[in-house]
Amino acid sequence: MNQFLRFIFLLILLPNIIYSQDGSNIRYVKSEDLNQNLIGKFVHFDFYNRSFLAKKIDTIELKINQKLIKFIEVRKDNGHNNWFSGQSLISEDKTLKISKFQIRIFDAKKIYVTAFLDHLKNNKIFKSELINLFIPRNKIVEILVDSKQAEITKILSYAAIGCTCAQWFDKNKKGENEYFYLEPLNKNLINANKLWDGNNLPLTVKVTGNLISENNYPEYFTKQYLYKGGEKGKIFRYNKIEVLKK
């Protein structure tokens, strides 16, 4: 009888053991439950079939630099300790890796994202870039959200210095000016880069978002900018903005 009771107890306890997320920093959201609160979040996508517990690994074709590339899901998910950084997409030839996506905006049919793309050689990253693309919603069964992602709020002033470089700055811990490029998450936000009219200084904004690159070109840079000696820099992408001084 005691053995039977122990067996029943284990049957009751087993689902809690399997599906508990005690060590996880992933929040799971069904595709149909996508909402405005996920705009700006770092995510992974499960395509076609739910890959929880790595029961089903799928592939997806994404257009990268005008070329269709097939990616394979990498899911390190044991149902208990599931880390966002352990998930990714790897190209079939193992030369490209998408470490995460950021949701920018969505509609009934598509999710518009930025892919954080690493170029690999001998399994090591030699180049990283940000690629904007869209993904049909009917290909996504579940969204894996980085539940520990913390937004940052900064008060930045415009420098108006004579270079094609990052112009927004604040003071770092050493008291030195730290410069940033500012990018709005989507077109529904005020574009900070259009606030300076050539004369209106001081110009100060309060922005909330995330640093998405330590050393890259902002997405509004064109070949014309680069030909003029455009410099790489830190890119801060904001989803909230308040103009404090104009």
pLDDT at residue 73 tops 60: yes
Bond into 184 cis (ω within 30): no
Q: Which of 48-52, 99-103, 120-124 has the least mean pLDDT?
A: 48-52
Q: Give the residue, 187 or 223, on which the prediction is more confident.
A: 187
Which residue has better confidence, 172 or 12? 172
Question: Is residue 18 scored above 80 in pLDDT?
Answer: no
What local confidence, expressed as pLDDT, does residue 16 receive? 44
| Structure letter (DSSP) for residue 227 | H
Mean pLDDT of 169-177: 89
Q: In what helix (H) or strand (E) does residue 3 lie, and over which residues does it extend?
A: helix 2-19
Per DSSP, what are the bridge partners of residue 120?
A: 125
Q: How confident is the model at residue 59 (pLDDT cuts 50, 70, 90)?
A: very high
Task: Compare 225 and 129 and report the one with higher pLDDT.
Answer: 129
Is pTM beyond 0.75? Reply is yes
CA distance linking residue 156 with residue 220, whole number of Å: 19
Q: Residue 11's pLDDT is what?
A: 45
Q: How confident is the model at residue 147 (pLDDT cuts 50, 70, 90)?
A: very high
pLDDT at 167 over 60: yes
| CA–CA distance, 27 with 84 (Å, rounded to integer) | 9
Q: How far, rounded to the nearest angstrom, does the alpha carbon of residue 87 sit from its chain's CA centroid?
A: 13
Answer whether 64's CB lies under 8 Å from 81's CB.
Answer: no
**Does the pLDDT of residue 146 top 60, yes or no?**
yes
**What does the block give as tokens for 110?**
């598509």
| 164-172 mean pLDDT | 93
Q: Mean pLDDT of all residues in the chain? A: 88
Is a pLDDT exceeding 70 seen at residue 53? Answer: no
All residues at 6 or more sequence positions from 207 whose CB lies less than 8 Å from its CB, including other chains: 153, 154, 156, 182, 192, 236, 238, 240, 241, 242
